[in-house]
Structure 1
Amino acid sequence: MSTILCVGEALISLTPPAGTPLVDATDLHLSTGGAEVNVAAHLARLGVPTRFAGRVGQDAFGARLRQTLDDLGVDSRFLEVDPERPTGLYVKDATGSATTMRYYRSTSAATSYRHVPAPALADVAHIHLTGITPALSDDCRQLVEELLALDDVKTSFDVNYRSALWGKGEAAGILRSLAERADIVFVGLDEAGDVWGCRTVDEVRRLLPQPFELIVKDGSREAVAFVGSRVVRVPAPVIDVVEPVGAGDAFAAAYLAARHYGHDPEDALHWGHTLAGAVLQVLGDHGVTMDRTTLEEQIRAEAVNHGA
């Protein structure tokens, strides 16, 4: 079975108890994170052969990230170690109903990642990337451009616009250009509105007609897949949200896994909603231990409950 390669930033996440502002927290939950790490973790749990390539520091946090990938069954052989730069981290700060991400990564090892070695591409049929990586440095941006230009490999790109990394004036054109080169693109309608001014899912499709497969997530309402000329809509389930960060990565991973297994876009949207919904109800970006069998059983149960 062919491998999906996730390339990007590996981070350590520190999270206070649910609903606790950082200023009041006496305990922090330590976990591993980073958008591409989250996707790799979920793909591996769903039984998809998965590899990760990136760069961490020669420190305990970097070792923790490698151990986590290994424990999940993700091929970590191409996780490089930088002897001079540290592993990046971020802290989640709950303020009212919102969660603010406080990043400590400006000189991290991940910002110096420049090249995926040829052996890392062996047996790889699909490369997954996000818009976070090109915002880290010029080298990282060039890396993403080179990977999206590869022949004979499918590519997916999650826009993942992060205003803390770059302003919309700089990001808008670059993210659009990168998305236009990918085979599969994920974007939230909210971030498409922030960075491109799109108000509807159809406006997003008009802005990005090139990707054969474009998935637009409209928050708690629905997710829409534009696949060629076909349009597929699946409503989002009602979820009591504990912590929102990481749900988009879970959605992307589950969607890609479903397509990897040959499911149609409608089934893939259901997979995405179900795994993202589970992540919304826990702390930690990929703390849900849901395998393929459990996910499929939950989808069937939800279909019965809704009279499908």
Structure 2
Amino acid sequence: MTGYAVVLGEALVDLLEEPSGDSVIYRPAVGGAPFNVAVGIARLGAPARFLGSFGDDPWGARLLAYLSSVGVGTAAAVTVPGVATTLAVTTFEGHEPSFRFYGDSYARYDAPDIDTDLIAGAGLLYCGSMALLSPPVLAAARRAWSVPGPVRVFDPNVRPIVGLNPDVVAEFATTADLVKLSSADALALWGESPESAAGRLLDLGAGAVVVTIGSAGALVASTAGTVRVPPARITPVDATGAGDATMAGLSWGILTQGLPADLGSWAVLTRVAVHVAGLVCESRGGAVSMPTLPDLRARFVDLAV
């Protein structure tokens, strides 16, 4: 397969909690789930374009500059005058992050901002995450999703604090070639196990489903059945961006190798993707930890990639 990825969604600044003596400090890092996915795809070596809205403050400029520095195209992004960049204050239980969000710079992208020619020329289109809670962004995603041509991948990436409408998830899943979600997403959306959620999404029409299960690896499902993929053997430091890294690895594989034709091929690709996520977990921060292909090969010498 040839072409580039188009990634639509939020970009923001993570304030990551870290211990400092008897107190804590908050370290800023560029982020946002779709932002991380776009960076991850580009770092692995496939072309990517980012669609979204940015604040007009120094952090908005830094987010755009970081995308450009790793090779992600930003020509179709929008900077909104008078709007400050969204902050995600991040706290940890062990290695697992939780988030509180302040501001809505990511929520200003709208359907008229969509370049349908850009979408039609793409090899892959990603939509998902909390940006779809914004009516303008949801309208933009619906317009992009309706353009024929690219492989469609969807990640609900539910945040329990802000949520995501299950009807919206169902709407995008119905025509998705791939839905990636976490076991926490499955529980938050439907109160279901990974297996039940995967079956639900396949029944809706999704071509394949990958459910990440934290330190237990992932589950891959299609109409041919279900396969468990073991996790990478790592020493975790920070799980921020792990699910996004999985999505980046899956998207990179689809762009460079084509849409998997059977369950076995999906399992092979998912094994690569969970190793991308594993490597991200060995460093702090999400986007800044996304590996290159040489990084991945050097860390996991037995991984066929």
Tell me the TM-score normalized by structure 2. Answer: 0.88
- What is the match of residue 274 of structure 1? 275
CA shift in 2, pair 1:98/1:298, >3 Å: closer
The answer to whether the 8 A contact 1:22-1:93 is kept is no
Instruction: State the AA in 1 paired with 2:108.
Output: S
Matches within 5 A, 1:85-100: 85-95=83-93, 98-100=96-98
Q: Using the TM superposition, give the Cα deviation of residue 98 of structure 1 relative to its aligned residue in structure 2, in angstroms.
A: 5.0
Instruction: State the AA in 1 paired with 2:198.
Output: R
- What is the match of residue 108 of structure 2? 112
Once residues 200 and 31 of structure 1 are traced to their aligned partners in structure 2, the CA distance between those partners, rounded to angstroms, is 30
Q: How many residues are paired up?
A: 293
Match of 1:221 among 203, 216, 219: 216
Once residues 3 and 161 of structure 1 are traced to their aligned partners in structure 2, the CA distance between those partners, rounded to angstroms, is 26
The answer to whether the 8 A contact 1:13-1:30 is kept is yes
The answer to whether the 8 A contact 1:46-1:292 is kept is yes
- What is the match of residue 206 of structure 2? 211
Match of 2:189 among 195, 198, 203: 195
Give SS of 1:133's match.
helix
CA shift in 2, pair 1:233/1:266, >3 Å: same
Instruction: State the AA in 1 paired with 2:216.
Output: R
Asked if residue 6 in structure 1 is aligned to residue 7 in structure 2, the reply is yes
- What is the match of residue 306 of structure 1? none
Matches within 5 A, 1:14-25: 14-17=15-18, 20=19, 24-25=23-24
The answer to whether the 8 A contact 1:44-1:73 is kept is yes
Give SS of 1:240's match.
coil
Percentage of pairs with the same residue: 25
Give SS of 2:291's match.
coil
The answer to whether the 8 A contact 2:121-2:150 is kept is no
- What is the match of residue 232 of structure 2? 237
Q: Using the TM superposition, give the Cα deviation of residue 292 of structure 1 relative to its aligned residue in structure 2, in angstroms.
A: 1.6
Give SS of 1:185's match.
strand
Listed as ranges, the gaps of 5+ residues in structure 2 are none
Instruction: State the AA in 2 paired with 1:256.
Output: S
Q: Using the TM superposition, give the Cα deviation of residue 96 of structure 1 relative to its aligned residue in structure 2, in angstroms.
A: 5.7
The answer to whether the 8 A contact 2:124-2:251 is kept is no
Q: Which moved more, 1:111-120 or 1:248-257?
A: 111-120
CA shift in 2, pair 1:204/1:246, >3 Å: same
Q: Using the TM superposition, give the Cα deviation of residue 84 of structure 1 relative to its aligned residue in structure 2, in angstroms.
A: 2.3
The answer to whether the 8 A contact 2:245-2:276 is kept is yes
Name the Cα RMSD after superposition.
2.3
Q: Which moved more, 1:219-228 or 1:292-301?
A: 292-301
